[in-house]
Amino acid sequence: MRRTKKERQQMLKETIKENPFITDEDLAEKFHVSVQTIRLDRLELSIPELRERIKYVAEKRFEDEVRSLPLEEVIGEIIDIELDQSAISIFDVREEHVFIRNKIARGHHVFAQANSLAVAVINDELALTAKANIQFKRSVKQGERVIAKAKVLKIDDGLGRTIVEVMSYANNELVFKGEFEMYRSEKSLKDEKR
Amino acid sequence: MRRTKKERQQMLKETIKENPFITDEDLAEKFHVSVQTIRLDRLELSIPELRERIKYVAEKRFEDEVRSLPLEEVIGEIIDIELDQSAISIFDVREEHVFIRNKIARGHHVFAQANSLAVAVINDELALTAKANIQFKRSVKQGERVIAKAKVLKIDDGLGRTIVEVMSYANNELVFKGEFEMYRSEKSLKDEKR
DNA sequence: CTACTATTAGTACCTAGTCATAATAGCTCG
DNA sequence: CGAGCTATTATGACTAGGTACTAATAGTAG
């Protein structure tokens, strides 16, 4: 007993974590012990053999590949709408919407909810966002429910522009505020139909 | 010769590509041939053995991991980055990103590309969007490739704010322009380390 | 019938292990 | 000093999933 074992096992853990592709033989050499000792250590620490470790890494990669699905069609669920007047949608912040490190919602999801609500409230076949002025008032965490309220401020038929204000709340606190200048391309067409 | 071989080898290729975790034995069963035939096939097609395949997948993941720590949360693919200076990403507009009726990209996808690029370019553990002023210059259609270029304009260490400008182009035309005011939470910590 | 391809079978060997058993070394406690 | 203990090392049998090589057989074309 070279006054080690615990130390060696601690280092073993870290070494394997850092490089799962290392064999018992290489480990034995590295720590100046026999292969059998390394195997006993792995047994005690429940570290699987090289091949299992590699397999695990490979499988995880495969899962991840599917995981990176981006934004959905419409973000949030619309629960109330009065065309050309106002609309409300809710959006539950889940795991896939947040940064891994701190569980804070990525800005573009909060934006997406507000933006798609602004699109929806416009009484037109086709509404596009022309400009937006937005502020993220506070960060939203995983598990919170964001309620976005859109209000149509001004409809300028001449220019085909509509100003929509969206305020988003989580826990009754304002988390996002945005002013969207929306463009209606089909306005004239629609008017003709009437 | 069951009038197959070529067909079988073609299918073999695809099967393994789809699921690299399959053994020769399973393959033999699947194609109703002997294990030896499968091995001959692999030899002819230069497909490595199961363990090598798994290892390859695992290694690739490992390479990606270093790259994808900051990048995995990005919409679009980053092709160039100089921290705290500039970054470029590309984003191909596909079916799932557009309005069904007119094949025009939804604003929040274009925004998401720009916003996540602004997050990525910040040389910090954690960057959040505080404000943004954006303009959609022209609509982007399905099939177009959007190239977003981010430039760090100002780093205000006192406030912990950084201004990032993002210009997005499709077909060499400006389609989106945004100015993002980003918040760095770990700023002070980093300064202390220096 | 012969030549040729495709397929199958069998053997020896490899890597990186598991599992079980046994031997040895270095201590400490009484 | 020796028994008891832990840690380490050695040894042998066995495993999966192969490689490499040789040989036998089936089926078909010329």
What DSSP designation does A97 have?
Answer: G
B contacts of A115 (beta carbons < 8 Å): 106-108, 111
Predicted confidence at residue A64, as pLDDT, reads 57
**A119-142 pLDDT, tens per residue?**
999 877 778 899 999 999 999 999
Under an 8 A CB cutoff, do B112 and A136 touch? no
DSSP string covering chain B? --S-THHHHHHHHHHHHH-TT--HHHHHHHHTS-HHHHHHHHHHHTPPPHHHHHHHHHHHHHHHHHHHHHHTT-SSEEEEEETTTEEEEEEE--GGGB-TTT-BBPHHHHHHHHHHHHHHHS-SS-EEEEEEEEEE-S--BTT-EEEEEEEEEEEETTTTEEEEEEEEEETTEEEEEEEEEEEESSHHHHHHH-
Q: Which H or E element spans position A12?
A: helix A6-18
pTM here is 0.58
Smallest CA-to-CA distance from A168 within A150, A142, A143, A144 is with A150
**Cβ contact A167:A131 at 8 Å:** no
Out of A51, A128, A133, name the one closest to residue B107 (CB).
A128
Predicted confidence at residue A133, as pLDDT, reads 92
B189 touches chain A (CB under 8 A): no
A17 touches chain B (CB under 8 A): no
Residue of chain B whose alpha carbon sits nearest to that of A114: B108
Residues 6+ apart with CB under 8 A from A156: A162, A163
Let me know the angle formed at the C-alpha of A185 by B115 and B90, rounded to the nearest 5 degrees: 30
**Cβ contact B102:B168 at 8 Å:** no
User: A96: which 2 tokens?
Assistant: 């896939």
From the CA of A4, how many Å to the C1' of C27?
Answer: 14
- In single-letter form, the type of residue at position A111 comes to F
Phi-psi region of B103 (alpha: psi -120 to 50; beta: other; left: phi over 0): left
A158 touches chain B (CB under 8 A): no
Three-state secondary-structure class, residue A67 = helix
Predicted confidence at residue B27, as pLDDT, reads 94
Predicted confidence at residue A43, as pLDDT, reads 93
Tell me the C-alpha distance between B107 and A112, whole Å: 8
Tell me the C-alpha distance between B140 and B22, whole Å: 42
User: A60: which 2 tokens?
Assistant: 């995880």
A contacts of B73 (beta carbons < 8 Å): 99-100, 106
Predicted confidence at residue B185, as pLDDT, reads 64
Predicted confidence at residue B67, as pLDDT, reads 44
Which residue of A102, A122, A128 to mutate against B (max B Cβ within 10 Å)?
A: A128
**Cβ contact B32:B4 at 8 Å:** no
Q: Which band of pLDDT confidence, cut at 50, 70 and 90, is reported for residue A178? A: very high
Nucleotides of C under 7 A from a protein CB: 5-10, 15-20, 26
When the pLDDT of each residue in chain A is averaged and rounded to a whole number, the result is 85
Let me know the angle formed at the C-alpha of A112 by A110 and B78, rounded to the nearest 5 degrees: 95
Predicted confidence at residue A190, as pLDDT, reads 41
**Cβ contact A125:A186 at 8 Å:** yes
Asked whether residue B14, judged by its CB, lies under 7 Å from any atom of the DNA or RNA strand D, the reply is no
Nucleotide whose C1' lies closest to the alpha carbon of residue B1: C6
**A62-121 pLDDT, tens per residue?**
765 544 444 455 688 888 888 999 999 999 998 888 887 788 999 999 999 999 999 999
Nucleotide whose C1' lies closest to the alpha carbon of residue A38: D8
Out of A60, A111, A128, name the one closest to residue B104 (CB).
A128
B contacts of A112 (beta carbons < 8 Å): 108, 111-112
Predicted confidence at residue A185, as pLDDT, reads 64
Write out residues in chain B with pLDDT < 70, as ranges.
1-3, 63-73, 185-194
Under an 8 A CB cutoff, do A64 and B62 touch? no
Asked whether residue B23, judged by its CB, lies under 7 Å from any atom of the DNA or RNA strand D, the reply is yes
Predicted confidence at residue B194, as pLDDT, reads 29
User: A46: which 2 tokens?
Assistant: 């429940």
Half-sphere exposure of B50 (CA within 13 A, CB side): 13
Smallest CA-to-CA distance from A80 within A72, A89, A71 is with A89
Predicted confidence at residue A50, as pLDDT, reads 96
